[in-house]
Structure 1
Amino acid sequence: MFLKKNIFILFLAFFSLHLYSQKDSTKVKNVKVQGKLFVQEGVYKPLAPAKAAFYSAVFPGLGQIYNKKYWKAPIVWAALAVPAYYYQINNNEYKRFRTAFKLREAGLKDEFILEDGSTLVSDETLERAQKQLRENRDLSLLSGIIIYVLQIVEASVNAHLLQFNTDDNLSLKPTFIMDPMQFEAPKVGLTFKYNF
């Protein structure tokens, strides 16, 4: 097993010397440039993530539009519309059962008491319904707040990631470096050199 690992490491080391991610396009010979040459000053905009987060905080989805990720804005709006819809439904039902419970406590007729005096919903059911609807309403509010914060974070992180250099000139060239001080005691190491 130890021999297999050593052979595999040596095999990998030998063949990795010729491993390149792409050819270097900057070493071009005999090319003449005619006209003006435009050089991009810099891609890094330090305030872009802060602007994206601010726009998303002011109006959800606006940070995604600022990042030119237009397809994400409707997803943000739909994600925020769902908890808002359920919050409204649960709040209306909570108020309905709360009003019925208060009327019944005061000895008045509520919407769950029929004309003949029989009740459709008992007092215990009214209390349990209020508790469950209040929990559902609060959960809808909490999930809406979490989605709101997450869309702000997503816009900011996306603005950060858009500034990374991902052009074709990035390359990876692994090399072996020998230790000249201790040549008699061989060491094996691997160094990665990133050229930008």
Structure 2
Amino acid sequence: MATSRAGRILGRLESGKNLAGSACGVAGVGLALAGVGGAYWPVVVAGLYAAGALIAPPERVPPPPFDPREELGVLREDFARLREYLTEVELPAGAGAGLAGLLESYGALLEPGWVADVLATEPEAVHAVSRGVRQDVPECVDAYQRTRWWNRMAPGGESPEQHLERQLVVLREEADSVTAGLHEVEARRQQTHTAYLEERGRS
């Protein structure tokens, strides 16, 4: 407790505002010694200290460092749990094939290596894959199972199988869009390097 309090006091003494105020206060003492301010020199010194503290920039607290690769590590664990869950679910043939293709896309993006390293640099792409793995696919499958039961109890209406297949098509298109976006990132990187080499060759 005492060490923590001493650290806070030391931190205030070393703060930019205190240092700027102290510098202005020292200037105020110099002015007082030169005869400026007369009997009111303490007020001059205090005022200059306060002015220096006010004009000093506020202390900046640096944000905590986040490693996007750690997020991908957690996402891989969730993806493994999703695949385990899906092995216990009975799905229609058409939806099963579509789901297999979607999971293959997610797995290729999350596989440790340079592809995942590129993915980690694109927060929006990570968010899209995370949403698909943690929310969209489980919700699609669970909603299908629930609706299929109600449909058996009260036949009629739209087929739960068709809805599931349509949902998986949309998710596959989104995964393909993420892949295309990462491809574009790599293409831009290659083009930038080509331009750099050509410019270097001309100089």
For the aligned pair, the TM-score class normalised by the smaller chain equals 0.3 to 0.5
TM-score scaled by structure 1? 0.32
Q: Name whichever structure is richer in strand by fraction.
A: 1
Q: Name whichever structure is richer in helix by fraction.
A: 2
Structure with higher Rg: it is 1
